Amino acid sequence: DTGVSQDPRHKITKRGQNVTFRCDPISEHNRLYWYRQTLGQGPEFLTYFQNEAQLEKSRLLSDRFSAERPKGSFSTLEIQRTEQGDSAMYLCASSLVRGFGAGVRNEQFFGPGTRLTVL
């Protein structure tokens, strides 16, 4: 399977603990995105990388959140001092952005997500 993979699929933690999620994008893709999805809502953008550079962060990404993409391959999302409000599905997506303009599709391919439950 050469799709986007995420690990772990499920994580249960206690409030105040730190957690780290991993995303492995499709190998030739140059962009990697993190989204958060709460129950009954669509995904919300958190941050994205162009190769190893983190180019944009949403204001949803508080100081307790940090994301990295060393060497432009896999990415990690760490949440420090978790709170119950952090409980959500964390989705990773990747894309191969070849160009810009409305004629270029540049769809994002999503992984299965990591479901975080903070007790």
Partner 1 sequence: AQKITQTQPGMFVQEKEAVTLDCTYDTSDPSYGLFWYKQPSSGEMIFLIYQGSYDQQNATEGRYSLNFQKARKSANLVISASQLGDSAMYFCAMGSVNNFNKFYFGSGTKLNVKP
Site residues (vs partner 1, CB under 8 A): 31, 33, 35, 40-45, 48, 55-56, 58, 89, 91, 93, 95, 97, 100-113, 115
Shortest separation between residue 89's beta carbon and partner 1, angstroms: 6
Shortest separation between residue 74's beta carbon and partner 1, angstroms: 18
Query: Between residues 11 and 31, which has the closer beta carbon with respect to partner 1?
Result: 31
- One DSSP character per residue, 60-89 reads TS-TTEEEE-GGGS-EEEEESS--GGG-EE
Query: Between residues 36 and 82, which has the closer beta carbon with respect to partner 1?
Result: 36
Shortest separation between residue 66's beta carbon and partner 1, angstroms: 18
Query: Between residues 92 and 118, which has the closer beta carbon with respect to partner 1?
Result: 92
Shortest separation between residue 71's beta carbon and partner 1, angstroms: 21
- One DSSP character per residue, the chain reads --S-EEE-SEEEE-TT--EEEEEE--TT--EEEEEEE-TTS--EEEEEEETTEEEEE-TTS-TTEEEE-GGGS-EEEEESS--GGG-EEEEEEEE-----STT---PPEE---EEEEE-
Query: Between residues 19 and 91, which has the closer beta carbon with respect to partner 1?
Result: 91
